[in-house]
Amino acid sequence: MAKYKIVHYLNQFFGGIGGEEMAGFEPEVREEKIGPGLAFAQALGEDYDIVATVICGDNYFGENLDTATDTIVEMVKKYDPDVFVAGPAFNAGRYGVACGTICKAVEERLCIPVLTGMYEENPGADMFKKDVITVQTGNSAATLRKSLPKLVNLIKKMATVEEILGPSIEGYLERGIRVNYFANKRGATRGMDMLIKKMAGEPFETDLPMPKFDRVPPADAITDIKHAKIAVVTSGGVVPQGNPDHIESSNATKYGIYSIEGMDSMSPEDFTTIHGGYDRQFVMKNPNLVVPLDVLRELEKAGEFGELVNYFCTTTGTGTATGSASKFGDSIGQKFVEEHVDGVILVST
């Protein structure tokens, strides 16, 4: 019997090319099992064969999205695999976005079953879990052994066209897809059963899990605004021309800190916006519409507040995972605490 063929996608790190210094590595295909592919091959057994491994640097993929996607799809097409597997990416944001992007493209263009895996707070998970079956992993490669059985089980099911059951059974992230089924009890009875268990402090499983968000208590009001030190943070994607830190236009995995020292306004010759979630034309002509430096300098000179911090912090908000945003906030907040900032203006779009 012919073996089921699998093509595997890895970034430069898991592909054994190198670390961040090799993140610009262009797509390359190798007819061998590499990195996590060795564990996949052992767990899958003799009836499955990883016929090729595609490797691409995270930066190259992110900065050449269309070209990289087209190139990799053609590489995969050559082998006509039964299943395409990307990653797992764990909590590596750029890698996760790349895995989701290429999986979606392979599935749509080649009609091949695809599978990836990543941590639930990976930006790629938020972006692609509705389009691609994404096995839930831990936040580091150390958790591969735990998630490997789920990945292998789904690879086998996809290859043999076996029915894939719900996320809680198979271990992949909730996709928001509703499927009709016949329950043993009607809704009213199940609801009462859940209520009784909840009141008794007993565990129960809801029919409709809701997302959980942190509740952040508001800070105390500034008592002396005339002497307050004020900072600006924006999710509007305003960056220096050229986007020196390569902040993503959506699903951001990083933020930037940029000087406004000695400036009375945000010049379009110096700043632009790379945000992918709104019409940018007005902000590109006048960045003050998102980072209101011109007005803040006027208020500072008029003595309406003490002083303006001579830098601003920026990222893009569209599609950015709440876990990533929380990390940005912790890092920026710690910097402000150390510099005795009294208040922050959070500017959106």
Structure tokens at 249: 């236009």
Cα 130 from Cα 140, distance rounded (Å): 22
CB 252 within 8 A of CB 320: yes
CB 311 within 8 A of CB 259: yes
Tell me the CA distances in angstroms from 269 to 203, 209, 311, one per residue in order: 59, 48, 17
Average pLDDT, stretch 185-193? 92
Give domain limits for the chain: 4-170, 185-212, 225-347
Instruction: Examine the pLDDT at 332 and tell me if it is beyond 70.
Output: yes
Instruction: Examine the pLDDT at 213 and tell me if it is beyond 80.
Output: no
Predicted confidence at residue 197, as pLDDT, reads 94
Predicted confidence at residue 274, as pLDDT, reads 92
Cα 271 from Cα 285, distance rounded (Å): 9
> On the CB side of 121, how many CA atoms lie within 13 Å of its CA?
13
| Domain at 4-170: CATH architecture | 3-Layer(aba) Sandwich (3.40)
Predicted confidence at residue 284, as pLDDT, reads 94
Predicted confidence at residue 1, as pLDDT, reads 62
CB 65 within 8 A of CB 276: no
In this prediction, what percent of the chain has a pLDDT beyond 70? 99
85-103 pLDDT tens trace: 998 999 888 899 999 999 9
Cα 127 from Cα 125, distance rounded (Å): 5
